[in-house]
Amino acid sequence: MPDLVPVILLGVGNVGRALVRQIIDLRELHAHRLRTRFDLVAVADSDGAIFEPAGFSDATLETLLSYKAGGGKFRQHELGYDQGDLTGLVDVAGDDGAIVVDLSASAATIPALESALDRGYGVVTANKLPLAADLLTWQRLTDHRRMRWEATVGAGLPVIITLHNLLDTGDEVQRIEGALSGTLGYLSSELEKGTLFSVAVREAKACGYTEPDPRQDLGGLDAARKALILARMLGYPLELADVEVESLYPADMDSLSVAEFLAALPALDEMYAARTAQARADGKRLRYVAEVGGGQARVGLQPLAPGNRVAQVSSSDSIVVFHTARYSDNPLVVSGRGAGAVNTAAGVLSDMMALV
Ligand SMILES: NC(=O)c1ccc[n+]([C@@H]2O[C@H](COP(=O)([O-])OP(=O)(O)OC[C@H]3O[C@@H](n4cnc5c(N)ncnc54)[C@H](OP(=O)(O)O)[C@@H]3O)[C@@H](O)[C@H]2O)c1
């Protein structure tokens, strides 16, 4: 009989649903390779949670997947915790060996994650917000050995485990550079092809590559949070405000509605066309780059020599290049598809498997 591992899932959007799908579909593999059965006992969304101490059956999970894919909300909250009280939910639903999985996009999960770790449970997060919160929260969360966050940088790519391995084996990591945003990677290669900035942003939005409000991607904060996580792993005592972030639109466009913002974008076309032309004239390629090194972190648009590994990555992929004492001549590179619900869920699942 496989060991039952109780799982409490916070957030059941695109990645959460992909994870539940993988848990159901990989039952045999998990029983065979790990003698484990991930037993979902509680699932929370932004409105409430459902809880089944004996674990939800796969048939119930299928219903849950359809319900959430159709935009349904959980409202059940009479089980000893208040609606929205995720710490109460973890307290009620947790058990020995439990794993709390944060696939929300909210910092409201932080107290629940801390409580789970204090109780000795495992915590896996793809949600960057808790790890990009203040330094004290970072320390409180990552001081625990049962905290894992592979999918926060590069989705399913083995970025975090590679960095852990380098640090744990005493390598000296001097610098990390990378392209960490599929959306901004897409935009920079469209600019390179000669597409107008405003057209490229509208196309990216139409294809679903951006958030409904594209400023959330264009502002660079998501890439900055990833750079901050890597920097903190190197021991740099940085806050998010210390990360130098180049936003791809001016701050005065923040006050506009989404429609007004999209309508105003052509005003930026000339400037981006000039930057792209200058990069081309210098024999370089424009890329939105994250750089971590020398105690600092920054993200922004940079002209890169064509031989630079970050310049070579295909538009929607991610790449992380580790320059270390051991990998001095030829850096250690992790690259590939660095986004998408299925790949992200696989990164989360790999953390869950490592915990058991
Ligand atoms: N998609 C990717 O390619 C990718 C890659 C790497 C990392 N990530 C990260 O993975 C996380 C999930 O991404 P996603 O694409 O699945 O997002 P999503 O589709 O927006 O889903 C977010 C889920 O979190 C729930 N939620 C929001 N606030 C909550 C709260 N306070 N308590 C409990 N649940 C809450 C939402 O509830 P409702 O269902 O009620 O709205 C929803 O179910 C995000 O943090 C994202 O940054 C995503």
The one-letter amino acid at 30: H
| pLDDT higher than 70, residue 296 | yes
Q: Which of 9, 17, 46 has most ligand 1 atoms within 8 Å of its beta carbon, as the pocket-test mutant?
A: 46
Q: What is the pLDDT of residue 70?
A: 95
Q: Is the pLDDT of residue 79 over 60?
A: no
Give the pair of three-digit tokens for residue 263.
Answer: 């309508």
Distance between Cα 222 and ligand 1 center (Å)? 14
For a mutational test of ligand 1's pocket, the pick from 45, 74, 350, i.e. the residue with the most ligand atoms closer than 8 A to its C-beta, is 45
Strand 122-125 with 147-148, pairing = parallel
d(CA 208, CA 212): 8
Residue 244, pLDDT score = 98
Probe ligand 1: pick from 10, 14, 128, 225, max atoms within 8 Å of CB?
14
Cα separation, 306 vs 188, in Å, equals 14
The residue that leads in pLDDT, 198 or 77, is 198
Q: Residue 211: its pLDDT value, please? A: 83
Across 198-221, average pLDDT: 90
More confident site: 315 or 29: 29
| Amino acid, res. 260 | E
The first and second tokens of residue 23, run together, are 């848990």
Place of tokens 């869950």: 352
pLDDT at 152: 97
Ligand 1 neighbours, Cβ below 6 Å, are 10-16, 44-47, 73, 86, 103-106, 108, 126-128, 151, 155, 339-341, 344
What pLDDT band is residue 82 in, cutting at 50, 70 and 90? low
The H or E element containing residue 282 is none
- Which is catalytic among the residues 68, 128, 205, 226? 226
What is the distance between the alpha carbons of residues 230 and 236, in angstroms, rounded to a whole number? 9
Q: What is the pLDDT of residues 297-316, one digit of tens each?
A: 999 999 999 999 999 887 77
Mean local confidence (pLDDT), 256-261: 95
**10 alpha carbon to ligand 1 midpoint, in Å?**
9
- Mean pLDDT for 47-68 is 94
Domains of the chain: 3-155+341-355 (3.40.50.720), 167-337 (3.30.360.10)
219 forms beta bridges with: none
Residue nearest to atom 19 of ligand 1 (CA): 13
| Residue 78 CB contacts under 8 Å (≥ 6 apart), including other chains | none
DSSP code for 90:
H
Query: Per-residue confidence at 182, pLDDT binned at 50, 70, 90?
Result: confident
Q: Of all atoms in ligand 1, which is nearest to the CA of residue 343? A: 3
User: Does residue 78 have a pLDDT over 90?
Assistant: no
Average pLDDT value for residue range 87-109: 94
Cα 180 from chain centroid? 10
Average pLDDT over residues 180-202: 92
pLDDT of the residue at 212: 82
pLDDT of residue 228: 98
Over residues 327-354, mean pLDDT? 95
In sequence order, the β-bridge partners of residue 99 are: 7, 122
Length of the chain: 356
Please indicate whether residue 226 is annotated as part of the active site: yes
